[in-house]
Structure 1
């Protein structure tokens, strides 16, 4: 018992130190967001600061003059929100079908899903880009969301999670006259809530931080997402640190809210979904 307590204490201290080290960049970013832009250009970002130099001018500038920033913010919120909802809906149905139904070609489809997971997205970007051009979807929300709606990693995760669901419930529902869609939406989906929470966080984080694909398919400044918009502030002719640093801090807020909202189910969803075979 004593050895177990010592092990727990050592593990807690170790991971606490690792967490603090991992949070250093965020601490530095938050502190720098209160510094004048001129001081940032002279000394860069650091954890050391002069309390008398800190102010709210950067945030005041964002809320009063940086109208484009909020347009980018809105674009990211719309794209990420729709991507999360559509990805959870379609990916869960595909994963559930691969786990719950025995049909010809099921294992082959699952192998294809695993193969696509192993293929880097950069290899798929060119054919996807040509597809978006042929469909006339360039510079639209749809072009950004479409490749992420049925995410292979989400299909794999939902399939693994659904393998652990009791199929006796499906048989009982069929006896009561429930349709296959009714079984999924009314019986199985509530049982899969932890997996939905875990995937909502992961898919939301992936969509919110997505940079390369939106950079390819979005053309106009009004359609830019936050990662692209903030990147445009760094130019050879000047760097708008007033918006860049404070705006970067503001981009963390939606992900933190998303995690707080779903963290109750996050660990259990990942654990159960990862061990089913």
Structure 2
């Protein structure tokens, strides 16, 4: 009976693994095939990889799109970690009834879909464009600013701060460390796993962001990698081999970051739910 149960468990795990890995396998294999082979569902590697690379470079400015996405994702991640961790730290360490009310209001904002905010956001940035064009519509800053922080990220840091040893703060105060010094010199180094998990979540979300950049970025020079892939697929006769190659290239940065930080990611996520 135990052996049958073990076989069943391993069978389910194998099937689940195949289902999870297959899209990545098909994506990589398709990047080496012709468009007609991708359409027919060919599952064997082809010999068209270098042709697809040549066509991709000749068709779109993928280097500029990758640079734009990198600037947006890195800037958003750094600013989001700083702002959200300061907010989560403040809500937990300096608790009061008024702060709890504000925090609950922030949590309620998570129920509002982003699509409902796009029109007022676009109008706001349209007004900003008249005053400060450098952060107005059709700038990378207009993508970064609305996503600097989220209610989820503040909640994430506050939940992890509950496990932070408060004795370290008391010891720091006794040594004459300022309140900002406590945050930067004690809190941040101690909570590095939380920062790593938050960095992965924020970077991946920013890198793959499609809807808001589609609305606010209007010139090809500011195009991000998701918008570039979308434009490749919207042509009259899309080359699916080239599209799959672009998707592989777009997937590599987030995959590498996750693999390098996965140990910290798991530790940070587990810490948030204890």
Q: Given the two structures, how large is their TM-score scaled by the length of structure 1?
A: 0.89
Aligned residue for 1:260? 259
Equivalent residues of 1:132, 1:138 under 8 A apart: yes
For residues 32-90 of structure 1, give each alpha carbon's deviation from its aligned partner in whole angstroms, at most 9, with x where no partner exists: 110123444xxx162534x6x43323453167535511111111111111111111111
CA contact (8 A) 1:58 1:246 kept: no
- 2:30 matched to 1:32? yes
Distance 1:92 1:9 in 2: 45
CA distance in 2, matches of 1:179, 1:247: 49
Aligned to 1:23: 21
- Alpha-carbon spacing, 1:59–1:234, altered in 2? closer, same or farther (3 Å): closer
Q: Deviation of residue 7 (structure 1)?
A: 6.6
Paired position in structure 2 for 1:115: 108
In 2, distance between residues paired with 1:55 and 1:274? 47
State yes or no: 1:48 paired with 2:43.
yes
Q: What's the Cα RMSD here? A: 2.2
Distance 1:106 1:12 in 2: 48
TM-aligned CA distance change 1:62 to 1:204, over 3 Å: farther
Shift of 1:23: 1.7
- Looking at structure 1, the residues matched to 139 and 250 of structure 2 have their Cα atoms a distance apart, in angstroms, of 21
- Farther-moved stretch of structure 1 (24-33 vs 103-112): 103-112
Deviations 1:205-264 (A, max 9, x none): 111111101001000011010111111123353324353121111111001111012111
1:102 maps onto 2:95 in alignment: yes
Q: 1:168 to 1:253 in 2, by over 3 A?
A: same
For 1:229, the equivalent position in structure 2 comes to 228
**185-194 or 103-112, which deviates more:** 103-112
1:114-146 Cα deviation digits (max 9, x unpaired): 111122111112111111111111011111011
Runs of 4+ in 1 over 4 A off after TM superposition: 5-13
Find the aligned partners of 2:180 and 2:88 in 1 and give their Cα distance. 14
Aligned with 1:210: secondary structure? coil
Q: 1:190 to 1:127 in 2, by over 3 A?
A: same
**Which of 60, 65, 75 pairs up with 2:58?**
65
Any residues of structure 2 matched to 1:1-277 within 5 Å, and which?
11-40=9-38, 44=39, 46-49=41-44, 53-61=46-54, 65-66=58-59, 68-136=61-129, 137-235=136-234, 237-275=236-274
Deviation per CA, 1:170-213, whole angstroms, max 9, x where unpaired? 11111110001100111111111111111111111111111101
Aligned partners of 1:215 and 1:228 also within 8 Å: yes
Alignment coverage as a number of residue pairs: 268
Q: Runs of 5+ in structure 2 lacking a partner?
A: 130-135
TM-score by length of 2: 0.90
Q: Which moved more, 1:54-63 or 1:241-250?
A: 54-63
